[in-house]
Amino acid sequence: MDLGLNNRVYVVTGATRGLGNATARALVEDGAKVVLTGRDEKTAAAAAAELGPNAVGVGADNADPATPARLVATARERFGGFDGILVSVGGPPFAFAADATDELWQASFESVFLGAVRLARAAAAELGEGGVIGFVLSASVYEPIPGLTISNGLRPGLAGFAKSLADELGPRGIRVVGALPGRIDTERVRELDGLTADPEASRHASESGIPLRRYGAPEEFGRAAAFLLSPAASYVTGVMLPIDGGARHSF
């Protein structure tokens, strides 16, 4: 199936590794052009170079209020257009409720929540009919994850924001979608497993609760996210799609 991505231009934040990088790769492989970001300019440039001439890397911090306008401007200047954005941010630090200080909450709110809201707001102002705004959220939107108290607090709020935005932008022909990764075999998930007393046993326990009995590969997430962002999903909006191997058992 042709996803209709040829020559469409996307911004993908947090795309030097992990889920953002996997999505940027899937988009480029299907003909799109991508502005990808990371906190470090050199790392972002190197990640873009691996994807070829249809990708450019930009060092950017989602918490910086100037970032959204700069990224949209880069997309237009380098590739002549702007068709959508995928807001992917690093997960908040591992912390239980008793350990999550005001400082941790504030820093995470600025980068994970408010930064994402600013990016989406700027994209909405620039996109035309057929544009799309996507969020990489988490399975914690539906089910809290032990030890990720800050994520459990912020991700559901972003899902609610995304749903509200979908209702508001729908009349303009702009879609808003969310991708909810479960246990995808990224560096981040391996780090979380590594915080347990027995990482191998922790992974085995997690896999036993997944109907497909394995962690997902980053490219599996990337392909699903690329579909959501593509014109092939032109009648899909306001949804939060679990990409978790069936781990979420409710409808």
**Token pair belonging to 210:** 């997944």
Distance CA 88, CA 64 (A): 15
Distance CA 251, CA 196 (A): 30
Distance CA 149, CA 100 (A): 8
Q: What is the pLDDT of residues 81-114, one digit of tens each?
A: 999 999 998 778 888 999 999 999 999 999 899 9
Q: What is the pLDDT of residues 122-169, one digit of tens each?
A: 999 999 999 999 999 999 899 898 889 999 999 999 999 999 999 999
Q: What is the pLDDT of residues 51-83, one digit of tens each?
A: 999 999 999 999 899 999 999 999 999 999 999
User: Taking Cα atoms as reference points, which of 54, 15, 6, 7 lies closest to residue 225?
Assistant: 15
- Dihedral angle sign, alpha carbons of residues 87, 47, 138, 156: negative
Residue whose structure tokens are 């909006």:
237
